C-alpha cells in the first residue's frame, strides 16, 4: 500500500486542480507522494457526463503526477456530513496515511464546497480515534490522524492564512485544470454556458494566483486557510515580505 505525503480532497472532479493544483505539482517535484480523492462525480454539472468527467480527472491526475485518484461517488449536491460519509473519508485517510490533508474552502458559492471541507476536516480528526472501526479489503485498519488539514481557496475571496509559491509550475497547473475540458471555455461547444465556462473564468484563476504571489514577492501563489495556529521552532523558518 502506498503511503502518501499529501492527500487532497475535492467535492467535484476539478476542485483540486483549480484550488491547489500548483501546490501539489510543486511538492511532487520535491519528491513528495500525493493522492487525489473526489467526493462526487460532479453529475449535477450542466456540462459533461460522469463518464467524461472521470476520464478528464484521470488525465489531470497524470499531469499533476498523483500516485492515486479515487472517487467516493457521494451524491453531487446532496451528500451529508453524516456517519456513513465520515467513515468513507476515515477509511481513505487510514488507507494512505497522509501527513497533510488538503480540502475544500470552509465556505463558498457552491454549498458542496463548504460541506466537503467540513466533512473532510472532521473525518480527519476522527480517523485518529482507535475505537472507530473501519476495514480495507476485510482487514481492520489502524487509526491515523494527519498532522495538518488545510483548506484551499475557491470562488469566494477568502483571506488566506499562508501562501505557497507556485511560480515555477503555473503552466502545469493550467494544464491540469484545462484537462477538465468539458467544463471550461470551448468556442466549439454546443453545451449551455455556465459561470465557469465563460472565457474570463480561467483568466480570473490565473489573476488570483498573480495577486497572491505579489504578497510574497513571487509571480504566482496559492492561498490556504488554517483554522488553528501555525508553529515554528525557528523564526527564520518563516518567509515574510516586509
Residue 1 included in any domain? no
Quickly state the pLDDT bin for 242 (edges 50, 70, 90).
confident
- Residue/partner pairs of 183-186 with CB below 8 Å, 24 or more apart: 183/14, 183/45, 183/47, 183/48, 183/53, 183/56
Mean per-residue pLDDT of the chain:
96
Domain containing 60: what range? 6-237
How far is residue 40 CA from its own chain's centroid? 13
Quickly state the pLDDT bin for 241 (edges 50, 70, 90).
confident
The domain that holds 39 is classified in CATH as 3.40.50.10320
User: Contact, 205 vs 149, CB < 8 A?
Assistant: no
User: Contact, 129 vs 34, CB < 8 A?
Assistant: no
User: Contact, 10 vs 49, CB < 8 A?
Assistant: no
Residue 133 included in any domain? yes
Q: Would you say residue 239 has pLDDT above 90?
A: no
Quick check: helix, strand or coil at residue 75?
coil
How far is residue 232 CA from its own chain's centroid? 25
Whole-number pLDDT of residue 238: 87
Quick check: helix, strand or coil at residue 170?
helix
Decide: pTM greater than 0.95: yes
Quickly state the pLDDT bin for 240 (edges 50, 70, 90).
confident
Partners of residue 222 on adjacent β-strands: 164
Residue 216 included in any domain? yes
Quick check: helix, strand or coil at residue 38?
strand
Residue 54 included in any domain? yes
Residue 153 included in any domain? yes
Residue 242 included in any domain? no
Q: Would you say residue 237 has pLDDT above 90?
A: no
Into how many domains does the chain fold?
Answer: 1
Residue 165 included in any domain? yes
pLDDT 10s digits, 180-192:
999 999 898 899 9
Residue 13 included in any domain? yes
Amino acid at each position: 500500500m502506498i503511503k502518501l505525503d499529501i492527500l487532497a480532497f475535492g467535492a467535484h472532479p476539478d476542485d483540486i486542480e483549480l484550488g491547489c493544483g500548483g501546490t501539489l505539482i510543486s511538492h511532487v517535484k520535491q519528491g513528495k507522494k500525493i493522492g487525489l480523492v473526489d467526493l462526487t462525480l460532479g453529475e449535477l454539472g450542466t456540462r459533461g457526463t460522469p463518464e467524461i468527467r472521470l476520464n478528464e480527472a484521470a488525465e489531470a491526475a497524470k499531469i499533476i503526477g498523483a500516485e492515486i485518484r479515487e472517487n467516493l461517488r457521494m451524491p453531487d449536491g446532496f451528500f451529508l456530513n453524516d456517519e456513513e460519509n465520515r467513515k468513507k473519508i476515515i477509511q481513505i485517510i487510514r488507507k494512505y496515511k497522509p501527513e497533510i490533508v488538503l480540502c475544500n474552502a470552509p465556505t463558498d458559492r457552491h454549498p458542496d464546497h463548504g460541506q466537503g471541507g467540513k466533512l473532510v476536516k472532521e473525518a480527519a480528526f476522527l480517523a485518529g480515534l482507535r475505537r472507530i472501526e473501519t476495514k480495507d479489503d476485510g482487514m481492520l485498519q489502524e487509526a491515523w490522524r494527519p498532522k495538518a488539514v488545510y483548506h484551499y481557496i475557491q470562488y469566494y475571496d477568502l483571506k488566506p492564512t499562508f501562501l505557497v509559491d507556485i511560480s515555477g509550475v503555473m503552466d502545469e497547473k493550467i494544464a491540469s485544470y484545462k484537462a477538465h475540458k468539458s467544463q471550461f471555455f470551448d468556442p466549439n461547444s454546443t453545451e449551455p454556458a455556465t459561470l465557469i465556462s465563460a472565457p474570463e473564468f480561467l483568466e480570473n484563476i490565473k489573476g488570483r494566483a498573480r495577486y497572491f504571489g505579489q504578497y510574497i514577492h513571487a509571480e504566482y501563489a496559492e492561498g490556504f486557510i488554517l483554522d488553528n495556529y501555525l508553529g515554528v521552532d525557528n523564526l527564520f523558518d518563516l518567509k515574510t515580505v516586509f
